[in-house]
Amino acid sequence: MDEEPGHEELVFLYHSGELPQAGRERFEKHLASCDQCRRSLEDLSWASDLAREAAVRPEAGLTRRALARTLGEDGVRIWADRARSMGMGLGLAFAVGLFLLRTAHPPEKSPAWPSGLDTEFSELDRRLDRLDADLSLDSWNVEFKENWEHLGRSRQGLKSQLDEQEEV
């Protein structure tokens, strides 16, 4: 299988940034006039896109288990801290989103504000606060995902109601 590098191999080296500067400039000039090399370059981009789309996502507990096995209790602690800060970040982002939504649709400007929405917003805020407080290593993956999805659905429902009211 050992062969002299042909144009296609040079395209690979160009694409991976392994050609020296002079070779790179020379190859770019060649590329402008060579359909075959341009096609090879497209093939590489196609392969990269394909690989990116087909990347396998780690299941949530895999890395946590690996760190626990590697670093012991400290690995567990680090992962828990990371998960907690990420959860709080997401919670904060959601709270900001809710705030912006309420600012864009202030109740006082909408005489047809549906009854009970304020209570529901308050309940959502309370649940967000509780979510931040309740995050723990064992419950994070499942509980946070379920709560997050539920809050997302609630938010969507409320937004739809507001939109309908605005139209009215």
Partner 1 sequence: MTDEDLAKQAKEGDHDAFAELVRRYQGRLLSFLCYRASRAVAEDVFQDICVKWWTHMKSYEPTGRFAAWAFTIARRTLIDHSRKERGRRFLPLEGAAEIVADPAPGPSRAAESSEIGERLARALEDLSDEQRETFLLREYAGLSFKEIAAAQGCSLNTSLARMRYALLKLRARLEARHG
Site track for partner 1 across 113-142, x = CB under 8 A:
------------------------------
| Residue 157 interacts with partner 1 (CB under 8 A): yes or no | no
Total residues in contact with partner 1, by rule CB under 8 A? 39
Residue 21 or residue 103: which is nearer to partner 1 going by CB?
A: 21
Residue 73 or residue 108: which is nearer to partner 1 going by CB?
A: 73
CA angle at 22 for the pair 18 and 23, rounded to the nearest 5°: 50
Binder among 27, 79, 140, 144 for partner 1 (CB under 8 A):
79
| Residue 99 interacts with partner 1 (CB under 8 A): yes or no | no
| Residue 53 interacts with partner 1 (CB under 8 A): yes or no | yes
Contact by Cβ (8 Å): 124, 157: no
